[in-house]
Each structure stands twice: as C-alpha cells, then as structure tokens.
Amino acid sequence: MSAPALPQRSLGSRLADLGLALVSPRGAVFLLLIILLITITVLNPSFAEPGQFMRFLQRVAPIAVVAIGQYFVIVSGEFDLSMGSVITAQVVIAGNLIGQDDSKIVPVTLFMVAFGIVIGLINGLVTTLLKVPSFITTLGMMLALLGGVMFWTGGAATGNPADAFREIGRGGFRDVPLLDFIPYSVIILAVVLVGALLLMRRPFGRTLIAVGDNPVAARYAGVRVWWVKTRAFVISSLAATLCGILLVGYAGVHPSVGRGYEFIAITAVVLGGVALGGGRGWVVAAAAGAVALEALFMVLNFMDVPSTLRDAVQGAIIILAVAYSAFSFRGRRRAAPAPASPGSASSASGKEPDFDPNPAVPAPPRSPAEL
C-alpha cells in the first residue's frame, strides 16, 4: 500500500506562518531592517545605488563583527563589557607597534590575536572557576585596559600604522561590475558570519545553547561548562580584535576609538531577539540587529535628531526589545498545551481524576496465635 499523501498547505496558512515569524523576537529585526532601509531610500534616493549601499555596509561591518562576538557570550548566559576597551587597546597597539614599517604588520597582528586570546581566557576563567559574575569580571577588565591605554598614550592620539595595514578597514575591490565597490571589511564580515553559523551547527554551538539555557542540567550531562563559556569569551575578544583592525582603517588611532562599542554590541544582539538570559538566539539575527541599529541612526541623522541622543535611543531599544521578547516568550508558553497526567483514563477526556480522600488501607497480617 502506498503511503497516504500529506495534505497540501494553503497559501493563506503559509503567509500566516510568515507573518508570525516576522513578528517573533527573532524575525522582527528583519522586518524592522526592511522598513528602515526603505525609509532611508525615500529620504536619500542615492542610498539605493550599489556603491553607496556597499559603503554603508563598510561602516556596519565592525559593529556587526563585534555583535557576533557578543552573541556567543550572551547566548551562553554571560556578558562581556570589556569589548570596547579591547578594541581601544588593539587600535593603540597597532598604531604604536606597527608604525610605518610594513614588515611589522604580520608579527604585530599575531601579537594582537594572542593578546585578544589572553583577555578572553582571563575573562572566562575568572567568571567560571572563581565564580565572579561576568558583569563584574568584564567591567573590571574594561577599566583595567582603559587605564592602561590612558597611561600609555596620555589620552592623546599616538601612532600611525602603515597604509597597507589601514587598507584592511578602508580598502576594497574597485570597479566591480554592478556593485562598483566591494570593501574588504564586508568580505571579512561575510566570512565571520558564515564561520559563526557553521560553529553554531557544530556540537560546540549546540552545547553553548544548552549551557545558556540550563547550566546545571548541562553539567549533569557531562558538559564542561567552564570550558564552553571560556571559549565563548575568547571568541568575543577575538571579534573585538578584528573590529579594532577594521576601525584603524578609517577611525584613526585615538583612545576614544572603540569607546561604548560593548553597549552597541549588546543593543544589536538584543535587537536581534537574543535572550539576555542565554539559551535562545540566532547569530544571523544578531548581525542583522547591528545593520538595523546603524540604519536607525542614519534615519535619525536625516531627521536632524542630535547625535547626543544615541545613548538614549540605545537604552530605549534594550528595554523595549527585552520586554517584547519576554512578553512573546510568556505568550508561547501559555499557548503550549499542558502535558496530560499519566495513570488516569479520565485525563484524556479533560476531566480531573477522582481521588478517594480516605483510601482503603489493607489490614495488617494476623499472628499465628490469632489463627
């Protein structure tokens, strides 16, 4: 006998599912991004030109990279507030150690990668083994790095890396058919995003989600929770290092470069529907949150809103996004059917089982004398 054919879903049901996906915490960022891009195009028609749009993505790339790094930490149930200071430190290191000597680009870049790994290991090990909350650990690291940078530079712009190094962040392939210009930073962002997607599909990614959702259950399942979270912190610091390399290209070398990027990354991740408590989120949505955040700032600029209100906008976005995510999650839990209680036939019919308040207790056995 042939298997019965599955019923075909109507177009209306498919559109309804798409609508529900777009208003979910994870899908709402894509709907918001589409609306913002259309708004920018209406306010500035030249934005739709391929070259202009690529330059917009070039500005977004460092923010999206750091948001992807922050995603790994937040989905594991932690925070990384040291990302901005890591970016600042890496920018100053590149500007002062490379100088105008192209031969120092590779060794200094390797040193920057090693420096980022060390920072991530310290954050992760202090958080997991010493049981210091990640908020306190990374806040202390942020202040320590910022103090070191200020001591090194005196608070002034110092150093000027070689143009070949700065070309990583500001250069690209020019005279490309249709697109006109493909920045190196956009290519780097695409590679990082694909790598993050592949990593989240690996056992490490699934374990990271499990640890963020319930670390106790993950520990009982044999997961080395401390090592999983430590690797997330290392990935975050490496993302901040890469962001610093990209920012050197057009932001220059100054102690203020990278300041506040940790909050920008958190805002982008939350805007992408990632749960701040960990255990839920999609890395693509986190990257889309970074693009939507930069697009929102562009709309505010076109509307002549003062740039000093950016912090207020970020704060409002965090509050509203977290509230919407929590409200949506509670709604899904209420809509889920409750599991039926086993051992009762009446539960299948929707009625509560009957319980005898005075159940019969079997009489104790009689002694041989009573027999």
What is the structure's pLDDT at 77? 94
Q: How far apart are CA 333 and CA 120, in angstroms?
A: 36
Cβ(213)–Cβ(202) under 8 Å?
A: no
User: Residue 346: what pLDDT?
Assistant: 40
How far apart, in whole angstroms, are the C-alpha atoms of residue 239 and residue 235? 6
The DSSP code for 259 is T
Domain coordinates in residue numbering, the chain? 50-258
Please measure the distance between the N-terminal and C-terminal CA atoms of the chain and give it in whole angstroms. Answer: 66
Residue 28 buriedness (CB in 10 A; 0-12 / 13-18 / 19+): buried
**Of 176, 186, 181, 301, residue with least CA distance to 249:** 186
pLDDT value, residue 36: 93
Q: φ, ψ for residue 80 (rounded to 5)?
A: -130, 100
- Per-residue model confidence (pLDDT) at position 24: 62
d(CA 81, CA 85): 8
Q: Which residues of the chain have pLDDT under 50?
A: 1, 340-358, 360-362, 365-371
CA 271 vs CA 40, 257, 267, 283, 285: distances in Å: 19, 23, 6, 12, 8
Cα–Cα nearest to 263, from 326, 315, 322, 325: 315
Looking at residue 160, its pLDDT comes to 81
Burial class (CB within 10 angstroms; exposed 0-12, middle 13-18, buried 19+) of 113:
middle
User: CA dist 53 to 41, 186, 338, Å?
Assistant: 10, 11, 49
